[in-house]
């Protein structure tokens, strides 16, 4: 399966924050939207970086309580993991594994179209496994094979 297909099923788009928002503002956004990852955007639709729950934890570990009021631009990840809508899912999985990240920005050319997460990968693999199991059951029972 192509990453673009997951985006069609999941829906495109990302939640973006500004570089001047504080970490605690972003954490509230995480809670309100049940997410753990945002894009740090420029005003013209381009991105500067990303911020994840892990980035926030690392900031607290490094800066202590003052991390909560730090600007996103000071704690964000600038080395963003990306893949293309035309990449196969194992490519995104390999990027996650090599980069030790749970989220990969999905690009269509220069445009950010979404985020594929480890949860999306697990859901897709689970759906595949359940379909295979059902097909094997049908085959063994002779169902749908006349």
Task: Give the pLDDT confidence of 115-133 residue by residue, as tens digits.
Answer: 999 999 999 889 888 888 8
DSSP-derived 3-state class of residue 2: strand
Q: What is the DSSP letter of 143?
A: T
Residue 146 has pLDDT above 60, yes or no: no
**What does the block give as tokens for 71?**
């600007």
Domain 3-141 CATH assignment equals 3.40.120.10: no
Mean pLDDT, rounded, for 82-92? 95
Query: 3-class secondary structure for the chain?
Result: CEHHHHHHHHCCCCCEEECCCEHHHHHHHHHHHCCCEEEEECCCCCEEEEEEHHHHHHHHHHHHHHHHHCEHHHHCECCCCEEECCCEHHHHHHHHHHHCCCEEEEEECCEEEEEEEHHHHHHHHHHHHHHHHHHHHHHHHCCCCC
Residue 65 has pLDDT above 90, yes or no: yes
Residue 11 has pLDDT above 80, yes or no: no
Task: Give the pLDDT confidence of 48-63 residue by residue, as tens digits.
Answer: 999 999 999 999 999 9
Query: Among 4-13, 78-87, 99-108, 109-118, which stretch is predicted with the lowest mean pLDDT?
Result: 4-13
Query: Among 34-38, 83-87, 103-107, 135-139, which stretch is predicted with the lowest mean pLDDT?
Result: 135-139
**Residue 93 pLDDT:** 96
Residue 70 has pLDDT above 60, yes or no: yes
Q: What percent of the chain has pLDDT over 90?
A: 67
**What does the block give as tokens for 137?**
């059951």
Name the pairing type of β-strands 16-18 and 37-41: parallel
- State the DSSP H helix or E strand holding residue 83, giving kind and residue range, or none if neither: strand 82-84
Query: Domain locations in the chain?
Result: 3-141
Could you tell me if 81 and 115 are in contact, meaning their C-beta atoms sit under 8 angstroms apart? no
């Amino acid at each position: 399966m192509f990453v673009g297909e997951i985006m069609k099923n999941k829906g495109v788009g990302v939640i973006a924050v500004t570089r001047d928002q504080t970490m605690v503002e972003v954490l509230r956004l995480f809670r309100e939207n049940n997410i753990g990852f945002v894009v740090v955007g420029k005003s013209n639709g381009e991105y500067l970086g990303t911020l994840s729950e892990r980035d926030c934890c690392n900031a607290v570990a490094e800066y202590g309580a003052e991390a909560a009021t730090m600007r996103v631009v000071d704690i964000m990840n600038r080395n963003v993991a990306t893949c293309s809508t035309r990449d196969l899912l194992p490519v995104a999985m390999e990027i996650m594994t090599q980069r030790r990240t749970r989220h990969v920005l999905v690009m269509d050319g220069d445009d950010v179209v979404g985020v594929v997460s480890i949860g999306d990968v697990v859901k897709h693999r689970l759906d595949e496994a359940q379909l295979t199991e059902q097909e094997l059951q049908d085959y063994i029972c002779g169902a749908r094979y006349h």
